[in-house]
Amino acid sequence: MSTPRKHAIRPATLEAIVEAAIRLLNVNAGATMSEIAARAGVGRATLHRHFRTRNDLVRAIGLRCIEEMNAAVRGGQDAGKPAVDRLRSMFRAVIPMGDRYSFLSLESADDAGVRQGYRAQLQWVAALVEDLKIQGDIAADVPTPWAVAQIDQLVWTGWNGIAEGYLTPDEASELAVGTLLRGLHGEARPHA
């Protein structure tokens, strides 16, 4: 649908377009086809050749990011490990890529496919939260949507800390886990 019939695409061209689009759309959700083309070092006509409309492009990028995020999250997961470890490795995988995903919750949310993919992600997190509750890492009376939202936000906060230079990726992940489960008060360490 988004890929016209006649023209094939050169891998390098596609890669350049996708990367440029991800970078730009995350910074400026209203980025222009001209801007994206320029950033990709590609003619504007080439964009339209492979993504007929701007919406097609945004949708394709959104789906790609979801997929990427999916792979990152599920990649380092060992179902046998305790829920806390799974939480930690999820943070480790996703936080450093925060600048590629932040736009998922913004503009592209008006596309059905992307929205569905994003919801699937949130449900995956919700399942993790349930496991954390079973293990006693999260109190049973905490609303699951609250915990999910909190985790979602911590990813962004973590990436932001890295981007601003006051955290390393490892520190960010540790801080995220600690903040989620134990808060910012220092002394209570149920898992120490």
Among 96, 98, 117, 161, binds its own copies (CB under 8 A): 161
How many residues of this chain interact with its own copies, rule: CB under 8 A? 37
Name the strand (E) or helix (H) holding 172. Answer: helix 169-182
Query: What part of residues 34-93 is at the interface with its own copies (CB under 8 A)?
Result: none
**Amino acid identity, position 15:** E
**Under rule CB under 8 A, residue 146 binds its own copies:** yes
CA distance 162 to 55: 31
**Under rule CB under 8 A, residue 6 binds its own copies:** no
What's the min distance (Å) between Cβ of 29 and DNA? 11
**Under rule CB under 8 A, residue 139 binds its own copies:** yes
**Under rule CB under 7 A, residue 52 binds DNA:** yes
User: Which of residues 108 and 173 has its CB atom nearest to DNA in the complex?
Assistant: 108
Non-local (6+) Cβ contacts of 76 within 8 A are 89, 90, 92, 93
What's the min distance (Å) between Cβ of 106 and DNA? 16
10 contact, one of its own copies, DNA, none, CB 5-8 Å limit per kind: DNA
CA proximity to 111, closest of 35, 57, 46, 51:
57
Non-local (6+) Cβ contacts of 94 within 8 A are 69, 72, 73, 101, 155
CA distance 48 to 51: 5
Q: At what angle do helices 112-134 and 144-163 cross, to 10 degrees?
A: 110
Non-local (6+) Cβ contacts of 159 within 8 A are 95, 96, 97, 98, 99, 102, 172
**Under rule CB under 7 A, residue 9 binds DNA:** yes
Among 48, 52, 157, 174, binds its own copies (CB under 8 A): 157
What's the min distance (Å) between Cβ of 52 and its own copies? 22
Question: Which residues form the interface with DNA (CB under 7 A)?
Answer: 6-10, 12-14, 32-34, 41-46, 48-50, 52-55
Question: Which residues form the interface with its own copies (CB under 8 A)?
Answer: 29-30, 136-143, 145-147, 149-150, 153, 156-157, 160-161, 164, 166-167, 175, 178-190
